[in-house]
Amino acid sequence: MKIIIYGAGKLGQRAISRIPGICSCNIVAVCDKSASLEDRKIMGIPIIKPMEIRSIDYDIILIAINRDDSIAKVKSDLQMLGVADTRIEVLKKSERFKAVWMDLRVDWIRNFSNYERTNGINGSVAECGVYRGDFSKYLNEFYYDRKLYLFDTFEGFDERDVQFEESLMEKGFLESKFHKKGYFNDTAINIVMDKMTYPENIIIRKGWFPQSASNINDTFCFVMLDMDLYQPMLAGLRFFWDKIEEGGAILCHDYFHNSLTGVKQAVTDFENEIGRRIIKAPIGDDCSIVIYK
């Protein structure tokens, strides 16, 4: 099967690297309309503009994009180019390419939750940076016997955190989609709660972190920090560190993200604050690092 990958971002690059190992497919091109891709190749595969699709021999176009609104726009553009619906497939909804798009954090946390239960590690669970609850639902499922605190503004980034991030003058962030006003604001508590298998275990904490964590006197076996920006990530580490049970862990998403370098800086600065290096390791998703207590 001859495939055109639509999207040269992180998900597209993951598809390029993993598809050859899971099926007998030939990736003939990567389609992306970004003007910044000047070398015209990615991982040795030619990059084409949407208009060039007509000149390529292919079986399917695999849309490797995460956001639903962007996927809908790409599908519409492809249809305008005369691409039949039967030749368009969305990676994150594809069963045959599930091994490509499945978030490796899901498998990791499934295994870690079983490890904690087997070894009697107690405590509640928390996620900071919930967005639409697509990861929260797995935490709720795997930690079915624990309270799950969900921290989020449910309105996108707080302007105070954005302003601080801007002051760091990191080009990767300033030129990224994350700097776009209103990014991550297409969510609501009901959207998140509708995905929960055990809603009775959920404790919603809406607002700016760490103010939203006031009056919590609980201990935690696992915490997911996915707040993207320096200031809330550092606040999360400060708040939860002494509340993590021995044998528990904090997972910091986007630690290796080129556009969100504030995450790694927050971990480094927290280590400097407590005066020692903490035990941490990547989990294999090219993005996250786990901190063990």
Tell me the pLDDT tens digit for each residue of 202-215: 999 999 999 999 99
Residue-wise over 53-80: b if at least 16 C-beta within 10 A, else e? beeeebebbbbbbeeeeebeebbeebee
pLDDT surpassing 80 at residue 23: no
> Which of the two residues, 107 and 166, has the higher pLDDT score?
166
DSSP 181-209: TTTT-S--HHHHHTT-S-GGGEEEEESST
pLDDT surpassing 90 at residue 25: no
How many whole angstroms separate alpha carbon 97 and alpha carbon 22?
8
The CA-CA-CA angle for residues 106, 112, 113, to 5°, reads 90
Question: What share of the chain has pLDDT > 90, as a percent?
Answer: 77
Listed in sequence order, the residues at least 6 apart from 267 whose beta carbon sits closer than 8 Å to its beta carbon are 233, 237, 252, 255, 278, 280, 289, 291
pLDDT surpassing 90 at residue 107: no
pLDDT surpassing 60 at residue 51: yes
The CATH T-level fold of domain 104-292 is: Rossmann fold (3.40.50)
Question: What share of the chain has pLDDT > 70, as a percent?
Answer: 98
pLDDT surpassing 70 at residue 35: no
| Dihedrals phi, psi of 225, to nearest 5 degrees | -105, 110
- Residue 33 is predicted with a pLDDT of 82
Same topology, domains 2-101 and 104-292? Answer is yes
pLDDT surpassing 80 at residue 160: yes
276 vs 58, 269, 272, CA distance in Å? 54, 10, 6
Q: State mean pLDDT over 43-65.
A: 92
Overall residue count recorded for the chain in this entry: 293
> Which of the two residues, 107 and 237, has the higher pLDDT score?
237
pLDDT surpassing 80 at residue 200: yes
pLDDT surpassing 80 at residue 8: yes
- Residue 119 is predicted with a pLDDT of 97
- Residue 22 is predicted with a pLDDT of 72
Q: Which of 28, 88, 40 is nearest to 64 (CA)?
A: 88
3-state secondary structure of 240: helix
Q: Which of 211, 213, 227 is nearest to 266 (CA)?
A: 227
Q: State mean pLDDT over 141-146.
A: 97
- Residue 93 is predicted with a pLDDT of 85
In the chain, where the domains are located: 2-101, 104-292
Q: State mean pLDDT over 234-248.
A: 98
The CATH T-level fold of domain 2-101 is: Rossmann fold (3.40.50)
Q: State mean pLDDT over 223-242.
A: 98
Q: Which helix (H) or strand (E) holds 2?
A: strand 2-6
38 confidence band (pLDDT: 50, 70, 90): low
pLDDT surpassing 60 at residue 292: yes
pLDDT surpassing 80 at residue 1: yes
Q: State mean pLDDT over 244-257.
A: 96
Q: Which of 181, 77, 37, 256 is nearest to 12 (CA)?
A: 37
How many whole angstroms separate alpha carbon 94 and alpha carbon 12?
14
Across the chain, mean pLDDT equals 92
- CB 252 within 8 Å of CB 233: yes
How many whole angstroms separate alpha carbon 61 and alpha carbon 287?
26
- Residue 39 is predicted with a pLDDT of 63
Q: What is the pTM of this model?
A: 0.74
121 vs 149, 238, 251, 258, CA distance in Å? 17, 21, 16, 34
pLDDT surpassing 80 at residue 101: no
204 vs 132, 194, 207, CA distance in Å? 13, 13, 10
